[in-house]
Amino acid sequence: MKAMDKTIKPTLADLLNRPLSIGGKKIANRLWLAPLAGLGHVAYRKVLESYGGCGLTFTEMCSAKGVPTEKPSVSTMFSWREEELDHLVCQIFGATPEEMAPAARRIENEGFFGVDINMGCSVSGIVKRNAGAALLKDPDAALAAVKSVRQAVSIPVFVKFRTGWTPDIGPAVELAQQFEAEGVDCLVFHPRVAPDKRTKPPILDHIKAITEAVSIPVFGNGDVVTPENCLKMLETTGCAGVSVGRMAIARPWLFAEWTAGYTPTETCFRDYAFQLADALDQHFNEVHALKRYKLFTIYFAANFTFGHSLQSKFLGAKSMDDVRDVIQKYVKTDMRLTKRPNMNIYSI
């Protein structure tokens, strides 16, 4: 057998399927699901897993204050399937060590792969509680939160964060180095300023700056829609891997596509719409299931040239039976697809 020609440029699958260890734990590949509020719930993750290809999944943002006493049997966020725990990270948001440490201990005791500290969410309700991206305004508070979690658990600790509240990457670089010094195992970095609601493109050079500043793995995040976007992020920044958010909701099979050459079927969108409805019914009551399904349709409808019309049909549904009627009547195999999502819908 001839040795592989080292001049051959690696493919996207080659780059994503490289072995990786975080905090001494092995992970299947370098393409992960980003934490997504209202979207990355247990029902969605069940459907996602049926396609395969996702190296690591994350829960929705869970309140650190609530996690120690939360009941998974009734919680809409702090819930999971036992079979996913070995590749599931629980993301928490909070403001103080007194909130974060007990939550982290509960997460470790439940058997999660790791715990992720959210320092990226800039939604006003989170920021007003001095949590999420608000911690980037107060590096001492951010480091205190990280230190308390690291001291509380032995499982891998992740931090998801942004550039900060100004375009200057310097403070984020310094903070990344301090996170590493405090024992964080992996960083997931979204290269936008905190107030930016995705109105401007992510700055890939900022991912590169963070990657070069630390020795721990850095995963890039932000507007990864096509395999070309993913490859560009990996090649131009040197990041360890890629974390995909909204596009994972639009097309959950992309993980299997990009890592293993999976080819979507002719009925993939229709099948996905039905599968998610069934999974939501299994894990949530009617009210919560319908609410989450309608949120999902923002990203699902963005796949199609005339997605606005389809989404309006879903938004008119009064029950999950109505949802299934919409799928049956309006989600067809001959619908015109867009290579990139309809941004007028997708950016909501």
| Same domain, residue pair 247 and 312 | no
| Same domain, residue pair 148 and 286 | no
Give the model confidence (pLDDT) of 283-305 as tens digits. 999 999 999 999 999 999 999 98
pLDDT on residue 2: 45
pLDDT on residue 201: 86
pLDDT on residue 343: 67
Query: Other CB atoms closer than 10 Å to residue 291's CB: what's the count?
Result: 14
**Residue 18 is assigned to a structural domain of this protein:** no
| Same domain, residue pair 192 and 74 | yes
**Residue 17 is assigned to a structural domain of this protein:** no
Instruction: Tell me 94's DSSP state.
Output: -
CATH number at residue 98: 3.20.20.70
Closest CA to 61 of 123, 1, 106, 151: 123
Among 260, 285, 315, give the residue marking a domain's end. 260
Q: Which residue do the tokens 């997460």 mark?
A: 107
Q: Name the pairing type of β-strands 25-27 and 20-22.
A: antiparallel
| Same domain, residue pair 160 and 222 | yes
Q: Note if 121 is an active site residue.
A: yes
Closest CA to 293 of 33, 36, 44: 44
**Residue 91 is assigned to a structural domain of this protein:** yes
**Residue 151 is assigned to a structural domain of this protein:** yes
**DSSP strand E in the chain: where?**
20-22, 25-27, 31-33, 57-63, 88-93, 114-119, 157-164, 186-193, 218-221, 241-244
State how far the Cα of 162 lies from the Cα of 43, in Å rounded to an integer: 28
| Same domain, residue pair 62 and 131 | yes
Among 260, 279, 295, give the residue marking a domain's end. 260
The predicted model scores a pTM of 0.94
| Same domain, residue pair 253 and 290 | no
Closest CA to 209 of 242, 238, 183: 238
pLDDT on residue 233: 97
pLDDT on residue 271: 97
| Same domain, residue pair 151 and 291 | no
Those residues with Cβ within 8 angstroms of residue 332's Cβ, 6 or more apart along the chain or in another chain: 270
The length of the chain is: 348
**Residue 11 is assigned to a structural domain of this protein:** no
Among 197, 229, 260, give the residue marking a domain's end. 260
| Same domain, residue pair 248 and 276 | no
Those residues with Cβ within 8 angstroms of residue 32's Cβ, 6 or more apart along the chain or in another chain: 54, 55, 56, 57, 58, 188, 219, 241, 242, 243, 244
State how far the Cα of 305 lies from the Cα of 188, in Å rounded to an integer: 32
The parent domain of residue 162 ranges over: 28-260
What's the structural domain count of the chain?
2
Residue among 54, 62, 121, 186 flagged as catalytic: 121
Residues of the chain with pLDDT under 50: 1-4
